[in-house]
Amino acid sequence: MSLQNVFTTGILTRQDAVHMMAGIFILVSLALYYWVSEWFLIVPAFVGANLFQYGLSGFCPAATIFGMLGLPDANDQINSDKSHNSVPKKTIIPSEENKTSLEVV
């Protein structure tokens, strides 16, 4: 799910929360680097390393914590959306007897 879906559906997933938290950590630490100390560059390096290992292993401590707080997983949301859309829709086809009338199948 993308951040746009958070605004349209009102549902914040674990993955959205992890991306938002990573962005906030990086922006705040870069501001602290600029105004306070160069040692604050350690924070975005740690965030980047954690995102990289999450991409390799699929394990993210922050996503686990957000799950304990009750945020849904994006994969669960996608699977539930697919199950709701699986209802067959009615199609309208012309009747064989009378080509001018329509029949709902």
Write out pLDDT tens, residues 18-74: 999 999 999 999 999 999 999 999 999 999 999 999 999 989 999 999 999 998 888
* Nearest to 51, CA basis, from 29, 77, 25, 27: 25
pTM: 0.65
Look at the chain and report how many structural domains it folds into: 1
State how far the alpha carbon of 68 is from the alpha carbons of 28, 43, 50, 61, 72, in Å: 25, 24, 19, 11, 10
Distance CA(3)–CA(78), nearest Å, equals 14
- Structural domain including 84 reads 3-104
